[in-house]
């Protein structure tokens, strides 16, 4: 009898604390770059995420959302400490991050070890939704392979045969080039030289000289953020743009086009978003974003917005109780996410299955 009472009391306490936890604010840890070459990308992701939450009246799955933030500086060496701060010091319920693939891999490892929910709103590291995939890890963006592979097909169809690639030497650059090369060489093209420099260096001159000397039919590139602005300008200033067409994964010109000005005119890139889709869904998103932030949205803003949508889908299914991991994952896996890019669903490994646009 006594034992039964204790068990009953314990069950009551557990039920009460679960109910309290559901009533409490949900703590979302934003781990994004606020400094460095990807700073603007971090801002756009945060803006997009917060726009969706605001559209839902500040609540997802019945729980008010509270944010804590860490500037990850796009520095993989600091990533594990930064993510542990959010989990252990700030006790976040959900992690959202990040832009840089190397930092995201460290986040994914900690998320996998601790079971903390993680939404990756940009970083394309193939492993995050490959060998490292987990029931509690979701990506609202892309894998590095996706835009690269699409461009391999495009450049082969254009009749280019010999191509030089140039990128930063880290997971995103390597995997983008690998995806490109896979499709391009399958279609009969040849990558004659793979050039790279360490992230986030922007001293492109020696490599541009090498491109001029190699005289390929075209160049494929992965750069993003501040580095992409400088690369496009340096490529034109070196006199290469007229003779050797430049192509890239769409990060080359997304969020950077204004700063690149005429030097970006005519560039063809592949990406899972474009600013001229002219669908009712994208138009209403773009209008709301522009009104709220006095800024034009870009792919990063969309990815942040969709990370919040995915979190909302999971939370609604479990009525705000993040401990129900299997039901949470099941709901996201079954969902069609109503993205400004066009509706998409996620693969078994939680990566978007989506269309890639060719943009000029």
Pick the closer one to ligand PHB by CB: 49 or 251. Answer: 251
CB of 251 to ligand PHB, least distance (A): 3
Q: Which positions ≥6 away from 96 have C-beta within 8 Å?
A: 28, 29, 30, 31, 32, 45, 49, 118, 119, 121, 304, 307, 311
The answer to whether 249 and 359 are in contact (CB under 8 A) is no
Per DSSP, the three-state class of 64 is: strand
Binder among 224, 311, 318, 337 for ligand PHB (CB under 6 A): 224
CB of 264 to ligand PHB, least distance (A): 15
Q: Does 128 bind ligand PHB (CB under 6 A)?
A: no
Q: Does 101 bind ligand PHB (CB under 6 A)?
A: yes
CB of 138 to ligand PHB, least distance (A): 16
Range in contact with ligand PHB (rule: CB under 6 A) among 43-51, 95-103, 232-240, 281-289: 95-103
Residue facing ligand PHB at closest CB distance: 224
Pick the closer one to ligand PHB by CB: 120 or 315. Answer: 120
Site residues (CB under 6 A) for ligand PHB, limited to 166-195:
172
Q: Does 251 bind ligand PHB (CB under 6 A)?
A: yes
Closest CA to 242 of 213, 270, 210, 265: 265
Q: Does 44 bind ligand PHB (CB under 6 A)?
A: no
Binder among 106, 107, 118, 123 for ligand PHB (CB under 6 A): 123
Pick the closer one to ligand PHB by CB: 224 or 337. Answer: 224
Q: In the chain, at which residue ranges do the beta strands (DSSP E only) sit?
A: 26-32, 59-60, 63-71, 94-96, 117-120, 137-139, 162-168, 190-197, 218-222, 246-249, 268-271, 345-346, 352-353, 357-359
Range in contact with ligand PHB (rule: CB under 6 A) among 44-52, 122-130, 177-185, 205-213: 122-130
Q: Does 165 bind ligand PHB (CB under 6 A)?
A: no
Q: Which positions ≥6 away from 195 have C-beta within 8 Å?
A: 164, 165, 166, 167, 207, 210, 211
Site residues (CB under 6 A) for ligand PHB, limited to 196-215:
none
DSSP state of 350: S
CB of 223 to ligand PHB, least distance (A): 8
The whole-angstrom distance between residue 311's C-alpha and the CA centroid of its chain comes to 15
CB of 225 to ligand PHB, least distance (A): 6
Range in contact with ligand PHB (rule: CB under 6 A) among 50-58, 108-116, 118-126, 290-298: 118-126
The answer to whether 229 and 259 are in contact (CB under 8 A) is yes
Write the CA distances from 256 to 3, 155, 201, 333, integer angstroms. Answer: 66, 22, 17, 33
Burial of 358 (0-12, 13-18, 19+ CB in 10 A): middle
- Count of residues that bind ligand PHB according to CB under 6 A: 12
Range in contact with ligand PHB (rule: CB under 6 A) among 79-87, 117-125, 151-159, 323-331: 117-125
The answer to whether 281 and 43 are in contact (CB under 8 A) is no
Q: Does 96 bind ligand PHB (CB under 6 A)?
A: no
Give 3-state DSSP helix, strand, coil % of the chain, rounded to 5: 50, 20, 35
Other beta carbons within 10 angstroms of residue 265's beta carbon come to 11
Range in contact with ligand PHB (rule: CB under 6 A) among 3-11, 27-35, 94-102, 180-188: 94-102
Pick the closer one to ligand PHB by CB: 123 or 346. Answer: 123
Closest CA to 332 of 319, 350, 320: 350
Q: Does 99 bind ligand PHB (CB under 6 A)?
A: yes
Binder among 33, 36, 61, 124 for ligand PHB (CB under 6 A): 124
Residues in touch with ligand PHB (CB under 6 A): 38, 99-101, 122-125, 144, 172, 224, 251
């Amino acid at each position: 009898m006594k034992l039964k009472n204790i068990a009953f009391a314990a069950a009551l306490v557990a039920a009460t604390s679960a109910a309290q936890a559901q009533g409490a604010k949900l703590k979302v840890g934003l781990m994004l770059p606020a400094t460095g070459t990807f700073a603007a990308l971090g801002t756009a992701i945060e803006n997009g995420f917060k726009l969706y939450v605001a559209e839902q009246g500040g609540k997802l799955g019945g729980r008010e959302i509270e944010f804590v933030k860490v500037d990850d500086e796009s520095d993989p060496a600091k990533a594990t400490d930064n993510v542990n701060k959010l989990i252990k010091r700030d006790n976040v319920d959900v992690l959202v991050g990040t832009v840089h693939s190397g930092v995201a891999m460290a986040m994914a490892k900690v998320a996998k070890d601790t079971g903390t929910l993680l939404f990756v709103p940009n970083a394309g590291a193939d492993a995050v939704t490959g060998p490292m995939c987990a029931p509690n890890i979701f990506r609202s963006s892309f894998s590095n392979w996706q835009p690269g592979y699409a461009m391999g097909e495009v450049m082969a169809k254009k009749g280019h045969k010999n191509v030089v690639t140039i990128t930063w030497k880290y997971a995103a650059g390597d995997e983008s080039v690998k995806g490109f090369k896979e499709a391009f060489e399958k279609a009969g093209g040849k990558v004659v030289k793979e050039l790279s420099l360490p992230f986030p260096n922007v001293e492109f001159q020696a490599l541009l000289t090498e491109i001029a000397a190699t005289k390929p039919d075209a160049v494929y590139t992965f750069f993003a953020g501040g580095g992409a602005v400088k690369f496009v300008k340096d490529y034109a200033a070196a006199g290469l743009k007229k003779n050797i067409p430049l192509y890239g994964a769409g990060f080359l010109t997304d969020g950077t086009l204004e700063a690149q000005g005429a030097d970006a005119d005519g560039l063809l890139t592949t990406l899972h978003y474009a600013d001229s889709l002219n669908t009712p869904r994208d138009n209403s998103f773009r209008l709301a974003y522009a009104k709220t932030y006095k800024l034009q949205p870009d792919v990063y803003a969309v990815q942040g917005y969709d990370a919040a949508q995915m979190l909302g889908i999971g939370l609604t299914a479990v009525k705000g109780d993040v401990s129900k991991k299997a039901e949470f994952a099941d709901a996201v896996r079954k969902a069609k996410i109503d993205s400004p890019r066009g509706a998409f669903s996620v693969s078994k490994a939680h990566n978007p299955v989506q269309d890639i646009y060719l943009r000029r």
